[in-house]
Structure 1
Amino acid sequence: MTVAVVTFGGSNCDRDAVRALSHVGVDAERVWHEDGLPSDVDGVVLPGGFSYGDYLRAGAMAAHSPIMNDVRDAADRGVPVLGVCNGAQIGCESKLTPGAFTTNASARFQCESVHLRVENAETPWTAAYDVGDVIEVPIAHGEGRFEIDEERYDDLVAEDRILFRYCDAAGNITEKANPNGSRGNVAGILGDRETVAVMMPHPERASLPDLGRSVDGQGVLRAFV
């Protein structure tokens, strides 16, 4: 299996993603956005970083890169697609998933470890966990606040498309545990297909034992296996 990690100008987590995927047994390679997506790709990662310097707003310009047409076509064929941090912003901007990621409620860049509660364990991205499990992963973003209108938020809840919510270490969903002010403490969601997901926290930064931190993010990346 080969997973394409799409690199835009300003991406800085692409190599991290390749290494973390390799650690869980996934063949991954970086693909420059101008080169297009290989036709035989088995999965796609839109990695974190600051594509196009977050000009206009985070992910807005990368969403219009021609490779995103390839990514949408692959997603429509059922190819797994994961957007992380800036990749999540690109995913929303390109309509792979609903909603938007906007400036943190604190108006500050947030870089810290957070806890996430698994809301739906019946997806490829969460199959390694049980509902209610609490995992620890890092965040690093200035525009990570998930926003969506009330009707579409209700649809996400009704359709069980919320993957993770920010919580405390005991799994309680509280305002204090919400690092960026995301609606409903949402940290990750599904697109129209369960094979498409975006999340603001970084599972690839919680996957390598030699980093001396949690490896709870491995379960997300094992979706590609």
Structure 2
Amino acid sequence: MSYENQTRDVILQRMIDNSRSDVDKRQGAVTYDLSAPAAMEIEGAYLELDAVINKAMLDTSYGDYLTEVCAGFGIDRKPAIKATGQVTFQGHEGTFIQANTQVSTDGTLPVFFVVRESGVITDGKLTLAAEARDGGISGNVEIGAVKLTQGDLTGITDVTNEVAFRGGVDEEPDEELRERCYDRLRRPVTSGNIHHYRQWAKEIAGIGDAKVYPIWNGNGTVKVALID
């Protein structure tokens, strides 16, 4: 259902037509001048109603509204995943690196990483586990991309990543979430059937699709091939 034809002029004409026949309805008359502002407001209400309908329908919803629609069918949007890796500090012997220290790439749009453990520089070097501050593929940076330490630089002469950061995944986009919800509705799951295994696999962030092979190695076995 759409209300795109419910324009101000159409609504105003309907209001004028429904007015008493013995009153002046011409432009500038009291009846016309009182009806025109109301028609404009009613047009806005129809536009909002159209928007509400679009937000509530699976095929036209978007963003947080689509998240809520799909949640009603038991399908949750896959969250973004943070990239993980390691950062290596160089500096003065005995310098303490606190957990939650932030480092970053350089440039106008730096990517930030958070050190997840504490340590002390020995022999001039210390490597610690770290993860991207924010989820998403932006955290998947190559070797040597990390160049800056945020905050206290005392005792630190250099920082870098000697291995690439990997594993970052963006939040599931609208179209993939919508398709997964449709897939759930069109392929009903029962306890342990093919559709159930496929659904379980596709609920994992970073998995785009899955192929299920029942009884692949005899009775009671199932093989699931994952596609990113």
Larger of the two Rg values belongs to structure: 2
* TM-score normalised according to structure 1 size: 0.19
- Structure number with the bigger relative contact order (C-alpha 8 A, sep ≥ 6) is 1
Higher strand share: 1
* TM-score normalised according to structure 2 size: 0.19
